[in-house]
Copies of this chain bind each other. A is one copy, B any other.
Amino acid sequence: MTILLASVGNIPEILLSLLIMLIAAKLLAEVFERLRQPAVVGEILAGILIGPSVLGLVKPSEIITTLAEIGVIFLLFTVGLETKPQAILRVGGRAFVVAILGVIVPFIAGYAITFVWDGSKIEAMFVGAALVATSVGITARVLGNLGLLDAPTARIILGAAVIDDILGLLILSVVSSLSKGNVDYYELFKTAGLSTLFTVVIATIGANLITKYAPKIEKLRIGEPFYIAGLVFCLGLSYLATYIGVAAIIGAFLAGMALAEATENNHDVHQKTNGVMEFLVPFFLVNIGMSLDLQVFKEISTVWLAIIVTILAIVTKFIGCGLGSYGVGWRRSTQIGVGMVPRGEVGIVVAQIGLGLGAISPPFFAAVLFMAIATTLVAPPFIKWAFANEDAAYDKIDDDDAGGILPKEKLSPLG
């Protein structure tokens, strides 16, 4: 039977790919849970295993990447739904310092090692830029699984990751411009201004706006009006974020945060959003694993470069963010330091842009790719360890420790 009634597009083939990805991810997640290791590591390893490098059961495709991207958008949206804006704004000053130092230290390290390794100046800047941006999805997933998203340090990590993404964007645009020979300062300032404005506006007045319109949304005749409005808001801000130039997940996180107050007691909206997230996130994690091409490491010098870049990426982010959180105590500095380590898909994107511009050579590309996946694999056990028994340590960290970006009087009156 070669003619299938259901064969619009490649539906059977796609269904099979999704099935294999989901089963592999959850099997290894179960094994890792039983070994008391983070499930995310199992799901990423499942991707390496079934991907082109090892078994070749599933071929990466645009459709899988799209589902993965929608998955991580929903992941950050659900994280946002559990985060009230003031919780982030209250630690804003601290998060800002953590982000700045967590950007400067890794950039310098990436620049230096590339220079030592006979790379060009532009190449050095690209590797530096790739070491900068934290991928908050992994940390959010680990903390979510542990039920610790509202721990004080979790909020600092989330806030710092948002700021970090904006800084990373600015560095990338400078580096890209330099590689093409000119820097458009007007464009640069516009991007910086727009992305900061976007974040601050949504974080400060988004919740008020939603709360104001909530009664009107509830009155709509369509089924599940609040869930549908949430979806529109999530997709809308995710798109707007990419339009301005920051990652879609930043928009999704801000959308969730703006909705946090209004949906706090709406169990069904949370369950529905979680349903989409739990369905799609495995594809995000497996897709990270599948993107690793082990072929690249035939040359032993590339292996060494990859290992050194990875160690630098881990150590410098840990030290930078740890220093940035000076004064909150060793335990919490450690939590923040390890929480910012995963680079995930953001590092990969920077490397891809560098390769596309002809600015970095294949060995550096391979090393950065390895670093992005390795930091993502290595961090979760440390995050789990650093946050062990956190329930006992739920004290408040706020502007008294570090100075906020907003005076307390200006916080949302709904807080």
Contacts and interface: CB of A to CB of B under 8 A. Distances in A.
Interface string A116-147: 00000000000000000100000000000100
A215 interface: no
Contacts of A276: 275-276, 279
A221 interface: yes
A69 interface: yes
Indicate the member of A172, A221, A244, A345 with the most B CB atoms within 10 Å.
Answer: A221
A246 B33 contact: no
Interface residues of A, number: 80
A360 interface: no
Contacts of A178: none
Main SS class of interface, A: helix
12 contacts: A6-B245, A6-B349, A12-B242, A15-B238, A15-B248, A19-B232, A19-B235, A22-B228, A23-B232, A33-B221, A145-B223, A273-B275
A375 interface: no
Given A3-B173, A273-B275, A275-B274, A66 B221 contact: no
A222 interface: yes
Interface string A244-284: 11111100000000000000000110011111101100000
A382 interface: no
A141 to B, nearest CB: 10
A316 interface: no
A187 interface: yes
Contact of A222 (B33, B349, B350): B33
Interface string A206-221: 0000000000000011
Interface of A: 1, 3-12, 14-16, 18-19, 22-23, 26, 29-30, 33-34, 39, 62-63, 65-66, 69, 73, 133, 145, 165, 168-169, 172-173, 176, 187, 190-191, 220-224, 227-228, 231-232, 235-236, 238-239, 241-249, 267-268, 271-276, 278-279, 345-346, 348-350, 352-353
Given A1-B245, A223-B278, A275-B276, 7 more contacts: A5-B245, A8-B69, A12-B242, A22-B228, A272-B279, A275-B275, A276-B276
A191 B4 CA distance: 11
Nearest to A244: B1
Nearest to A270: B271
A89 to B, nearest CB: 24
